[in-house]
Each structure stands twice: as C-alpha cells, then as structure tokens.
Amino acid sequence: MSFLRQWMLGVVGCALAVSLAQQICDSESMRAAVRFVGGLALVLCMTQPLAGVELGTLETDLQTYRTAAVQREEAFRAEYEAALAKDMAQRTGAYIESRAKELGVPVRAEVCAETVDGTVRPTRATLYGAYSASLADWIEQTLGIAKERQQWMANG
C-alpha cells in the first residue's frame, strides 16, 4: 500500500473514531472534551509525515532551488538584453537611413548595439554609401556613436 493511501486511511480512521466517541458521550461537557482531544489527535495524525522529514535534506533542496533560480534569472536577463540590443540595432539603423534620406545621402546602415554600464545602446555603425561629414556628425552627436566607431563603405 502506498504511503499516501496509508496516511489518508489513518486520517479518515482517526476522524471516524473521534466522531464515534462524540456520539457515545452523554453530557455536553464530555463531548467538548472529546472534541478537543479528538482535534489534537487529528492534527497529530495529519502532521505525522512531517516527523520523517530530514531538515538537512530540505535545506540542501532549497539551496539547489535558489541556485537554479539565480541561473534562470541570469539566462533570462541575458536573453532579454540580446533581444533588446537586436531591436535597438535595427531601429537605430532605420533611423540613420531615414536621416540620411533627409540629407540626400543614400546610405544603408548596419548598427551594433551592446550593453554598456548596464544600459543597451548603439556602439558601432557600418554605413554603406558615400561618406557624408554631416551625417557622421549627426550620428556622433545624436546617437553617441563616435566617428572612430563608424565604418564607411563606399562600395556596398
């Protein structure tokens, strides 16, 4: 017989015994005493499986759970930052292309975004098209990508 089934039969048997004991009592004060003692017996019967729990094992299991939770959190954070960097790179590239179109400079932009000091930001840009000093200045001033981190490819 499984442990759970055995435990449930014990609890049901205890409850049945308490109920029968209350039924055969003839005075109300005796029923109250039986109800109190029976309640204690039921609580002991229900918590009996806790007597077999080893606290050292439980503590080890909790530490394993904490370690796994920290690892999952770090993995989720890295995945989130990677997705955010990819999205930011795409949007920044489109923004640069839009600004270049306004300036009359046909450019295709590929941007790299990375986490710097806990913040995802664009860090490098590869620009395919003729060099434009005004666009390079705008990228540096507006987006914070230094001219040294801008690579211009005339044939692209």
- The list of the chain residues with pLDDT below 70 reads 1, 51-59, 155-156
User: Can you read off the two tokens belonging to residue 43?
Assistant: 């609580």
Would you state the pLDDT for residue 38?
84
Would you state the pLDDT for residue 89?
95
Residues above pLDDT 90, as percent of the chain: 47
Would you state the pLDDT for residue 43?
86
Would you state the pLDDT for residue 55?
63
> Which H, E and C letters describe 73-140, residue by residue?
HHHHHHHHHHHHHHHHHHHHHHHHHHHHHHHCCCCEEEEEEEEECCEEEEEEEEEECCCCHHHHHHHH
Would you state the pLDDT for residue 73?
95
Q: Is 125 exposed, middle or buried (0-12, 13-18, 19+ CB in 10 A)?
A: buried
User: Can you read off the two tokens belonging to residue 15?
Assistant: 């409850």
